[in-house]
Structure 1
Amino acid sequence: MPKLTDVCRHIRSKNAGPFWITVDLEFRDRAAYDAYAHSQALQPAAIAAVFGVDSALVQHHPVPDLLVLKVSYPRQRPQGGLLERDMHGGQQYVRLLDLEV
């Protein structure tokens, strides 16, 4: 099975406010988007398992015109909190790189 890094040309994560993280998955082409954007591995339950959050809170936003899938989930700790280790949310995407889709 291909990994997410095989089918996406760009993967990034960022803050979506102090309580949320958004991951942007930019697929290589229309064929990759059509084949993998709605994969079970990218559904809210699977994303929730990767990041250890409640699947009911994971948001899944396909943007077919841009060949992008945006996935948002709540941060485990608020941005800038005492135990928070990724102030800008820019390192969260790493957990998805080897995800098989």
Structure 2
Amino acid sequence: MPKLSEACRHVRSKNAGPFWITVDISFGDKASYDRYVDSEALQAQSIAALYGVDPLLVKRFPVADLLVLKISYPRQRPQGGAEERDMHGGQQYVRLLDVDV
């Protein structure tokens, strides 16, 4: 079973406002997108377990025309707070790279 980093072309994360993070998963071709977009590892329950959030708050946005899956989830701490460790959300994607899809 491949890791997400092997199955997709690019993964990035970023702020989606001060209370949310969005992860963009880009696939290199339609066949890869079709094969992995609905993987169990990329469902709300799995993402919630990985990031320690409520699965009912995880949002998935498959964008077939762009071969992208966008996943948004609430930040554990608001952006810019005293305990924030990733102000721009740019490091949050790393946990996904070794996930089996």
Query: Is the partner of 1:71 in helix, strand or coil?
Result: strand
Deviation at 1:58? 0.1
How far 1:28 sits from its partner (Å)?
1.4
* Map of 1:43 onto structure 2: 43
Unaligned runs of 5+ in 2: none
Number of residue pairs matched?
101
Q: What's the % identity of the aligned pairs?
A: 71
Q: Deviations over 1:32-74 (max 9, x none)?
A: 0000001111000000000000000000000000000000000
TM-score, structure 2 normalization: 0.99
User: In 1, Cα distance between the equivalents of 2:8 and 2:21?
Assistant: 19
How big is the alpha-carbon RMSD for the aligned residues of Structure 1 and Structure 2? Answer: 0.4
Q: After TM superposition, what 4+ stretches of structure 1 lie above 4 angstroms from structure 2?
A: none
Query: How far apart, CA to CA, are the structure 1 residues paired with 2:62 and 2:46?
Result: 16
| Residues 52-63 of structure 1 mapped to structure 2, 5 A cutoff | 52-63=52-63
In structure 1, the gaps of 5 or more residues are none
Q: Deviations over 1:72-99 (max 9, x none)?
A: 0000000000101000000000000000
Secondary structure of the corresponding residue to residue 60 of structure 1: strand
- Structure 1 residue 17, shift from structure 2 partner: 0.1
- Aligned equivalents of 2:6 and 2:37: distance in 1? 13
For residue 89 of structure 2, what is the aligned residue in structure 1?
89
